[in-house]
Amino acid sequence: MQGFGVDIGGSGIKGGLVDLEEGRLVGERVRIDTPQPARPEPVFDVVTEIVRSFDWTGRVGVTFPGVMKKGVAHTAANVDPSWIGTDVDAGLSGLIPGTVETLNDADAAGIAEMRFGAGRDRDGVVLMLTFGTGIGSALFVDGRLVPNTEFGHIQVDGEDGEHRAAASAREREDLSYPAWAKRVDRYLDVLEAGLWPDLIIVGGGVSRKAHKWVPLLSTRTPVVPALLQNTAGIVGAALAAAERPEAGHDPEPVGRT
C-alpha cells in the first residue's frame, strides 16, 4: 500500500511516494527550495507542483512547522507570520486532487519513528525531538500522540530552549559538539524534570552525527538517534493521511505493527 507525503521546511519542501508497509520512500523524493519570503500562496504552489509531478490523486499528508489544529496554523515561529490563522487544509484542498491532512512537522516525524524507527513497539512516555533551525517535539504515551507540544519554546535559564540548544545555535556560534552537547544536556534536564520520559529520540539533520554528541549527554533518560532521519516527515505525513480516523473514532496507537 502506498501513500504520499510532503514536508514543508524553512529551506526546502520535499515530497514523495511512501511504502506504508515498510515505512520507506518509493523511488526518489522531489525537493524544491522554499520560496522566500515563505508566504502561504507560493508555498501552496510548490506543494501542488510536487504532488502533480507524481500524478498522485489520493490522500496527501502535509507537514507544517507550527501548531496545527483542525487544519489551521496557529503559530509560525520559524516561518513567515502570515501563516498564523491560515487554513492550510482548505488552501491546499482547492489545488490538489484528493483529501489533504495537515499536521505539525515534528509530530509527523515522531509518528514515523514510533511506527518504523527508534520508537517501534515502545510503551510508556516517548519524546521525539528534532534539532534544526528550532527544536520540534512530539510526545507519545503508550504509542498515542499528544499533538502540538512545542517543547522547543520551554524556558531554560530565562530564554527559549531552542535559542541556545537548536542545531542552528551550534552553527551560528561555531560551537564544538562537546560545547553544544552541554547546552542540549541542560535543555533535557528541564524537560526531564517535568515529563519523566522513558525514552528520548533525537532527530533532524544533526542526528546523522549522533556519535559526536549523544554519548556526551548525562541525562537520566536513554537518548537514541532517529532511524529514518530526513525521510521521517514525509513518511509520517503519508501515514497520518492514510490512517486518518473517521469522525467519532479514536486512532490506534502509532507505535504498533
pLDDT at 222 over 50: yes
The secondary structure of residue 87, as a DSSP letter, is B
Tell the burial category of 158 from Cβ atoms under 10 Å away from its Cβ (0-12, 13-18, 19+).
exposed
249 domain residue, yes or no: no
208 domain residue, yes or no: yes
248 domain residue, yes or no: no
254 domain residue, yes or no: no
Assign residue 175 the CATH number of its domain. 3.30.420.40
Average pLDDT over residues 155-184: 96
pLDDT of residue 98: 82
**116-145 confidence digits (pLDDT tens):** 999 999 999 999 999 988 999 999 999 999
Q: For the chain, what is the mean pLDDT? A: 93
Average pLDDT over residues 213-229: 95
Kindly indicate the confidence band of residue 55, based on its pLDDT and cuts at 50, 70 and 90: very high
Residues 213 and 129 in one domain: yes
pLDDT at 105 over 90: yes
Average pLDDT over residues 79-102: 94
Residues 118 and 184 in one domain: yes
**176-188 confidence digits (pLDDT tens):** 999 999 999 999 9
194 domain residue, yes or no: yes
| Angle separating helix axes 105-116 and 232-242, nearest 10 degrees | 90
Q: CA triplet 250, 234, 183: central angle to 5 degrees?
A: 95
Strand partners, 137: 129
pLDDT of residue 249: 36
Residues 47 and 73 in one domain: yes
Q: For the chain, how many structural domains are there in total?
A: 2
**Cβ–Cβ under 8 Å, residues 99 and 59:** yes
What 189-193 contacts at long range (C-beta under 8 Å, 24+ apart), as own/partner pairs, is: 189/219, 190/154, 190/155, 190/156, 190/161, 191/127, 191/151, 191/154, 191/161, 192/219, 192/220, 192/221
Average pLDDT over residues 101-121: 96
Given the C-alpha cell 528541564, which residue does it identify?
A: 190
Residues 122 and 190 in one domain: yes
Considering only CA atoms, give the Rg of the chain. Answer: 17
Average pLDDT over residues 138-165: 96
**Residue partners of 92: CB distance under 8 A and separation at least 6:** 44, 47, 48, 60, 62, 100, 102
Residues 118 and 216 in one domain: yes
pLDDT at 257 over 50: no
Residues 112 and 223 in one domain: yes
pLDDT at 76 over 60: yes
The mean-pLDDT minimum among 89-103, 209-223, 236-250 falls in: 236-250
pLDDT at 65 over 50: yes
